[in-house]
Each structure stands twice: as C-alpha cells, then as structure tokens.
Structure 1
Amino acid sequence: MKKYIKIAVLVLIALIFIGTFVFLYQKSQPKETVYNILTPEVTDLIQTTVATGKIEPRDEVEIKPQISGIIAEVYKEAGQTVKKGEVIAKVKVIPELGTLNAAESRVRLAEMNGRQAETNLERMEKLYNSKLVSSEEYEQTLLAAQQAREETQAAKDNLEIVKEGITKNSESFSSTLIRSTIDGLILDVPIKVGNSVIMSNTFNDGTTIATVADMSDLIFRGNVDETEVGRIREGIPVKITLGALQNMKFDASLEYISPKSVENNGANQFEIKAAINVPDSVTIRSGYSANAEMVLQRADHVFAIPESALEFSGDSTFVYVLTDSVPVQKFERRPVTTGISDGIKIEIKQGLKTGESVRGLKKEL
C-alpha cells in the first residue's frame, strides 16, 4: 500500500514539473505581432485652427457725469434699452462752501448796485422830461440801469448753478441729468441713490454711471498663436461656437488682425476680431465665452491615410506598406511625401499607389 502511495506522489510531482516546463517554454516563445491594416482613401481635407475669446458689442460706452455730487435719482436699470439723450440718473450738487459764499455775496452786491441804478434812472427821467439834461446823459443812465439788471440776473443764475448745478432757463442742457450718449442696451448701472460721484476731467476718469452698448452689432475678440497668424487673412469666413449655446454655430467674418503681438503664458499671440451674424430669434449676452474656427488650408479629393500610420525619422516620413499577409504579415518601409492634415488624416502626395494598404497600430490579442 505504501509502495503505491509513493508511486502516485512521484507521478504527481513529475506531472507538475512537466506542466511547469511546458508553460515556461510556451511563455518564452516570441508571439506573432499582428497590425491593423489601413486602406488609403480619396477625401477632402480641411486644416483649421481655433481661437478662444469672448463675445462683446462693437460699441460699448461708459456714461460719466459732467459734474460732481450725490446720486439723487436712478431712472434706469441694467437690461433696459435707452435712446440717445434719454435720462439715466440725476445728480444733486453739493456746493463747496467758499464758492457758495462768494456767489451769495455777488448777488447781494449786484442787487445793491441795481437798486442804486434804478434810483438814478428815475431821477434822470424826471430831469430829462423837464428838459434839464441832454438825451445823451439820459441814455447813459438808462444803459447803466440795464447793465445792473443783467449783472443781478447773472449773479442769481451763478448762485443757482452753484447750488443746483442748473438754472431754470437751461434745464434742457442740465449737467445734473445724466443722459445716454448712444442708442442701446444698458449692460450695467454700478451706482445707487446716495452714492457720491465725481466728474470726468483731465486728471480723473470720473465715476461710471452706466455702461450702454449696441447689442445689434456684436464681434468676437480672441487671440491666435504666432505660428498660425501668417496663414489667416482679413475677410475669411469664421464659425463661432458659444459656451452657453453649444448646439449652435454662427457665421462670422474676420475683420481685424493685430499688427502687434502680446505675450500670453509665454507665447506670442495676436488679437483678432470677427463680425458675427446673429439671427433676430437668438439672444446673445455680452461676455459669452466663444471659440472661433478658421480654415487655414483646404485640399479636395486627395489621397489620405490616418496620421497614426506615419513614422517620422529626422526630416523624412515613412509608411509600412503591406506586401504579404499569409502566413504572417509582411511590410515594406517606404518614404512618402505628405501634404496638409486635419489632425486625423493626412494627405499623401507621393509614395503610395491606389490599392495599396499600410500598417496601422498593433491589434490587441
């Protein structure tokens, strides 16, 4: 019995040893490499570039006050349309104390001079009617009285301007009423009632009361890399895709290429602008992120293969042409001349014939 057990154990050990040897032997044998076979085709190739940027109105204006003061009324809000000359807000003038005192003093002095001039005129009229003074003396007194009246009115108007920023006779030209300078849509009203504002002048940009833009005339503004800017030109068609409306594309026309580059993340880029055609049924908001696709090159009915089939060596390009597939795949390394690429397929100008196939990527076995 023990003898049979020993024989069985020995047989089992032998089988394990033989199995291990066979497994290792099979693993050590080189496996046949099988490649996907690609057939060249005649197709149209379009090489494009994509510029990133945003949508903005061509004409966007910041409305600023011509006088400093406090916002008394705000008549419009963002999202409303305005016409040129329409009032957006009203500014209440806060007079400077010294200027106010000077204006009040001028009024008092003008009224005193005016009363004296009127008294002199009454006296002169009596003398003139009694033929005791000449007409020349009377006319001089009358002129002095009229000048005193004008000075009094001018002093009162000046005091009114200092206090209110406007006179009753010039309300239509009031600098306290902030008006839109263009027809358009109000994009932003950053002020509120009670805010202090300062006028725009040589030394200060002034406070922005509102931003108004013509949203019927939109442009794409973006950047193109210096490696591609030489292959685009003004007037070429552009396809615009918006981040907010990804299922829609809009036609545009390239109308501007900057003559000077700007550095962006270490790369030299050139600003471009394209005019967009937007249907009336579509609403586009200022600041939408967008991509502009432009055609750099185009080739129709050319011989093309997938770029993955190419091998690059120095300045030369090669493909592996299938010469035999039975019993194993055999290939011939052949130089080719390439043309344009759309990023997936590439034009083959020379080196391949119709009906030939080339090696692709390895098959997963």
Structure 2
Amino acid sequence: MKASIKLLITANVLVFVLLGCGGKEEPKQEESKKEHSEVVKLSAESIMQIKLETETVSFQPFTGYLSIPAKVITNQDNEAQIGSLVQGRVHQVFVKIGDYVKAGQVLMTVEGLDVGEIKAGFLIAKAALDFTKANYERQKKLFDEKIGSQKSLLESQAEYEKALAEYKAEDKKIHSVGLSDEDVTDAKIGEEHTSGTLPIKSSINGVVVERNVVIGQLVDATTNAFKVINTNTVWVDGQIYEKDITKINQKTNALFTSATYQNEKFSGRIIYIGQTVDEQSRTITIRGEFSNTNNKLKPQMFGELKIPVGASVKAIMIPDEAVVKEAALEYVFVQRSDTTFEQRKVITGISVDNRIEIKEGLKKGEKVVSKGVFYLKSELKKEELVGDEH
C-alpha cells in the first residue's frame, strides 16, 4: 500500500515538472520569433547592390515651422489692365502675348473722331496761350519803358490768364486719355492724318499675358485690350486654421517650397493676415510676398508656405525617408552590426526641410538607415511569411 502511494506521488511530481518545463519553453519560442521578425540580415553584396546608407543619430538645431498648402498669385500692385479711354477703332497692334514691354511703350493705336477733337482742342488752347503770353510780355515791356498804357497791360494780362486756364484744362484732358504733350505736338508736325490717332501705352514694365483686340475692332473705355503683369515679386496665399493665428504676425519671415523645384526654398515675408474666419473651413487667409527676379514662380503654381513658429532648439533629426509609416505606427531601421538591421518603433514630431524630429525611439550615436529602407521592409515581410509557414 505504501509503495503504491509513493509511486503515485512520484508520477504526479513528474507530470507537474514536465508541464512546468513545457510552459516555460513556449514564451522563449515566442520571444525568439518576435526578435526574428524585427531583425533583417543582409549580405555585404546585397548592401552594396541596394546602395544602403546610414546616418549617425545626433542632436541638431532646428526651428519649428507651420506648413500650409498655398498658391502663387500675381502681385496686384504689379498688374495692369490697359485699354482706350475714348471710343475708336483699332488702327495698329504692335505686341502679342508673351512679349516683354516697358512702361510708356505703345501697344496699339486707336483712330476716332473723339481723339481728333481732343487733340484739336489742345492745339487751339496752346496756340492761344503762346499768343497771349507773347502779347502780355510785350505790353509789360512797353509799360516798364513808359511807352504803353496800364490799361493795355491789364487787358493783355487778363487774356493771358484766361488762355492759361483753358490750356491747363485741355492739357488735363489729353493726359486723362493717355496722351502726352509730345504726342499731340508731334502729330501736328508730322503727317496730317495722324491727328485722329491715339497711342495706347503700357503703364508698367512686364509681360503681356492677355491680348483681346484685333485691327479694325471697335473699342471704348470698357474694353480691356491688354493685361500686363510684372512677376519680379509675387504673392503667395494660404489658409491657416484659427487655432494657429496667434503663432504668426505680419512681417514674419516665411519660406515657400514647390514640388516643381524640390531642392529650392524661396524667401519672403507675411504681408497680410485676414480679418475674417471662413465659416466652412474655419480658416483665415494669409498672404506672403516673395522676390521672384528669376521668374521661377508662376501665378497659380501650388506649393507649401512655411512659417517659423518657435525659437531654434536642438532635437534628434533624421531624413524623412528614413521613417516607414504603417497604419498608425512609424518605424526606422537601426544598424546593429555591419549586416544586421533592427526595425524599431519611433514617435515623430515636426518635419522641417525634408528632415523629421524623433521624440522617442532613438539615442544619440546610433546608426539609422537613411537609404534602402523600403528594401529592408520588403525583406522583413518575406521573413515574416516564411516564419508563418513554419
């Protein structure tokens, strides 16, 4: 009986020992499998073929930026709609779309009765002024020499002042339609038939971007014949959320980047912050002004407006392309040996100039893969599939 009890106890102990050993072995296998799934091993030849590169993790100075979608538009101070202020027919057109023109350059000429009447009125007023001025000066000289009478002097002075007033009125009239004194006097000296021709000139330096007239077309003050723009400076408009409005102010420096010029940053400053909030998007319009002397920025071009929103600080910064995004998680690959790379979860922060802040997950001095990341990711997926099959 005692022997049977001892045998039963011994058997139970062995069962518990075996069960205990089996329970401890399973976590080790899971841990080994997990470690295997997060590590990629490559041959030296593969590393050379994919041109894998690493970067040593370090703390770097950076300034936080607020990045918002934006669009280049024309600086309205450097844009001109040009046309005739009097009715007439287009006589000649001298420019086409794409031509660069200077301020004062003639773009077209217009013929019309109104033009002739305006010029004639000016010429008559100028002739009367010249005559009365000469007469007044002669009467003044005679009076000073005690030859002429005071009455004649006063009459000549009154006539001169009247002629001067009429001349100023006619002079103002010709300038209001875009004529200069020389345009009118040259027409008189030149061909007789040019007296009814009005030259239409550009008011700014720039490029013709619209031409809406042809020879023989009837035009008037409502006709926009040409549009000329100067893009030496441009505006960039963006929409900022109301919660961020306290982070910026007018005259704040800003950067503009575009996918068209991936390696270039254009410098400017904020010149306008909207006074109302859009009810639908809850955003406010902001505008930056940017120098564009090389004319790379084109109106209607899209990009990003970047506005500094904090003082310069130091943080771990790595290339954007070093971070793999998968669902809601972000990973990097850290080099553990010459041929071994560990996938590691990180928490990112602000992205600036193609580099991203790492808040958690990396330490100074570690080496992170900066090029070849997606190859490592694909290799890791292959190993996971093989592991699942076994």
TM-score by length of 1: 0.48
Q: Which has the larger radius of gyration?
A: 1
Which structure shows the bigger proportion of residues in helix conformation?
2
